[in-house]
Amino acid sequence: MNIRVPGVDTAIKYLRPDAKWDLYNQTFTRWDCPHNSQPPSWQEIQERVEKDTEIYNYYRYMIDREREYGDWRDQLNLLFDDIKSGNLESGKWVQMVESVKKRYPKPETEPPN
């Protein structure tokens, strides 16, 4: 899943993906769009930032888990060691994954649209 980091730049890119622009404070100093669309209003931008923030906050657990799981090669080594020792039910890899999932639980609410 591609989770956008919330921000004004990200919101503008989402709202007008083909546009090239420069922004100073809340004023566009350059606006080039191949579709001749107008720049988004500041209200549109703020609404998109709020929506992106809501989505980002919901899926933050995935970002945190991915960081904590570490390199997939390290995970495979843990799993290999557990296979060799015949300890797939409660080996080092399972313990590591369970502790990460416990630290960063999936939200119980429905994801935002």
* Domains of the chain by residue range: 8-103
Q: Is the pLDDT of residue 2 over 80?
A: no
Measured in residues, the chain has a length of: 113
Q: Is the pLDDT of residue 1 over 70?
A: no
Q: Which of these, 7, 5, 112, lies nearest to 49 by C-alpha position? A: 7
Q: Look-up: residue for tokens 């799993």?
A: 79
Q: How far apart are CA 16 and CA 105, in angstroms?
A: 34
Handedness of CA 44, 46, 52, 54 (dihedral sign): negative
Angle 42-69/92-103 helices, nearest 10 degrees? 150
- The 10s digit of each residue's pLDDT in 36-45 is 899 999 999 9
Reported pTM: 0.76
Answer yes or no: are the C-beta atoms of 6 and 49 closer than 8 Å. Answer: yes
What phi and psi values does residue 77 have, to the nearest 5 degrees?
-65, -45
Percentage of the chain beyond pLDDT 70 is 99
Q: Is the pLDDT of residue 5 over 70?
A: yes
- The 10s digit of each residue's pLDDT in 79-112 is 999 999 999 999 999 999 999 999 999 999 999 9
pLDDT score for 45: 97
Question: With bands split at pLDDT 50, 70 and 90, how would you rate the model's confidence at 48?
Answer: very high
